[in-house]
Amino acid sequence: MKAFAVLAPHSAGRVPVHDACRVRLHDIEVDFAIVEQADITMDAADPRHAHDVLLQIAAFSCNYREQARFLEIARRTDSKGYLVLGSEFVATVLATGAAVDELQPGDRVIGNGAIDASASHPGLTTQRGSAELQICHRAKLIRIPAMMPSADAAAFSIAAQTAYAMVRRLGLRRDEHVLVTAASSNTSLFAIEALLGAGLHVHALTTSPHIGAHLAQRGLHRYCVLDRQQNPAQALATYLDAQGLRAFDAVIDPFMDIYLRKLVPFLRRGGKYITCGVFEQFSRPHEPFQYHGLSLDEMFSLIIRKSIHMIGNNLGEQADLERALADYCAGRLPVALDSVHGNGQLDSFVHRSYLAPDRTGKVVFDYHLPTLEKRAC
């Protein structure tokens, strides 16, 4: 079976690969490859696999947090081997354990990262979603509709589940205004669609001017482009003024370390701030913004004085993913796809995933595709 992986420096040339490419990321040479691994099987009659499902992965995509894991491997000059990557996937069920009665061989499934009490294994389905054959617990999978193309399905589960959870947890009223930061990130693109689909007042904040055209095409004309070299206070004040607003009612933010200290002054008293992540996940610090915002003391003081609700969010509940799938089926949740790549196109897959400043949506690798497809979103 195949898998998408980053090779440790001493493994290049020693591991069987179908395709390989070397790129420089965060000042490190990183060797990506489609490696060949031994096939796995599952004895469906084995009681230890009673709740398990054997899957054949058709397509996968990667997420932001994986970079920290593979940069670590690429930096280790003393190690051999490789790290298999892949966060989201679409797969066909090959076999099911004796206690799995809701899934059948032939069903198409994606990961279910449910963290609610009903899920027996809370959290991500897998961190190696590109490995073509996988055994997963039944609770970590959800069936998808037949009308969902593989590329959309391979780009869906984590960002959709997280975005829908954040929107649910904010509990916004129809007259409230919510700001979504890092608007070109995949998580925020899903959050924006979820908010628009719910008929809420959405504002987007981005440092990537190219995303404006995509947002406008989606009917979102209220966005503010920030310069990473500038203190954003003036731009935000001018933006709010132009919108006739004094402050935002809520913020959805995938990068709390970049935005929290800059945005607390622009959130109303009693407003809500929900975040699912930080920018600085790599072991070597870099400067995403020259201006950092309020000092920590000032920020803590303002959060208290304004009685702001701070909410941390990890993934979501099964019901969040089900709602996202229902909205997808009803045509209310289009998936932003940057591009879809197939066998022999590792280089373009890696470049669009990690190096393209104009990336617009998810970048998918489809094991069944021989050709590159650039999709308009």
Ligand X SMILES: NC(=O)c1ccc[n+]([C@@H]2O[C@H](COP(=O)([O-])OP(=O)(O)OC[C@H]3O[C@@H](n4cnc5c(N)ncnc54)[C@H](OP(=O)(O)O)[C@@H]3O)[C@@H](O)[C@H]2O)c1
User: What is the phi-psi region of residue 30: left when phi exceeds 0, alpha when psi lies from -120 to 50, beta otherwise?
Assistant: beta
Task: Give residue 296's Cα distance to chain centre.
Answer: 28
Contacts (CB under 6 A) with ligand X, residues 57-96: 63-65
For ligand X, give the closer residue by CB, 35 or 215: 215
The region of 47-55, 96-104, 141-149, 270-278 touching ligand X under the rule CB under 6 A is: 270-278
For ligand X, give the closer residue by CB, 313 or 345: 313
Q: How many helical (H) and strand (E) elements, i.e. helices and strands, does the chain have?
A: 10, 17
Contacts (CB under 6 A) with ligand X, residues 164-223: 182-187, 206-208, 211
Task: Tell the burial category of 273 from Cβ atoms under 10 Å away from its Cβ (0-12, 13-18, 19+).
Answer: buried
Q: Which of 8, 17, 73, 158 binds ligand X (CB under 6 A)?
A: 158
DSSP 374: P
| Rounded Cα gap, residues 127 and 268, in angstroms | 38
In the bound complex, what is the minimum distance in angstroms from residue 141's beta carbon to ligand X? Answer: 18
For ligand X, give the closer residue by CB, 52 or 152: 152
* Dihedrals phi, psi of 232, to nearest 5 degrees: -80, 0
**Using alpha carbons only, how large is the chain's radius of gyration in Å?**
21
Q: Can you read off the two tokens belonging to residue 11? A: 């493994």
In the bound complex, what is the minimum distance in angstroms from residue 188's beta carbon to ligand X? Answer: 7
For ligand X, give the closer residue by CB, 41 or 230: 230
Q: Taking a C-beta distance cutoff of 8 angstroms, is the pair 14, 33 a contact? A: no
Q: Taking a C-beta distance cutoff of 8 angstroms, is the pair 110, 156 a contact? A: yes
How many residues form the binding site for ligand X (CB under 6 A)? 27
SS3 205: strand
For ligand X, give the closer residue by CB, 31 or 320: 320
374 forms part of the interface with ligand X (CB under 6 A): no
User: What is the phi-psi region of residue 164: left when phi exceeds 0, alpha when psi lies from -120 to 50, beta otherwise?
Assistant: alpha
Q: Which of 255, 266, 349, 365 binds ligand X (CB under 6 A)?
A: 255
Q: Which of 3, 251, 258, 369 binds ligand X (CB under 6 A)?
A: 258
In the bound complex, what is the minimum distance in angstroms from residue 22's beta carbon to ligand X? Answer: 21
* Nearest C-alpha neighbor of 113 from the set 320, 267, 326: 320
314 forms part of the interface with ligand X (CB under 6 A): yes
For ligand X, give the closer residue by CB, 100 or 256: 256
For ligand X, give the closer residue by CB, 104 or 238: 238
| Number of residue whose CB is nearest ligand X | 277
Q: Which of 197, 232, 271, 277 binds ligand X (CB under 6 A)?
A: 277
Q: Which helix (H) or strand (E) holds 347?
A: helix 346-354
Per CB under 6 A, residues contacting ligand X are: 63-65, 158-159, 162, 182-187, 206-208, 211, 228, 254-255, 258, 276-278, 288-289, 314-315
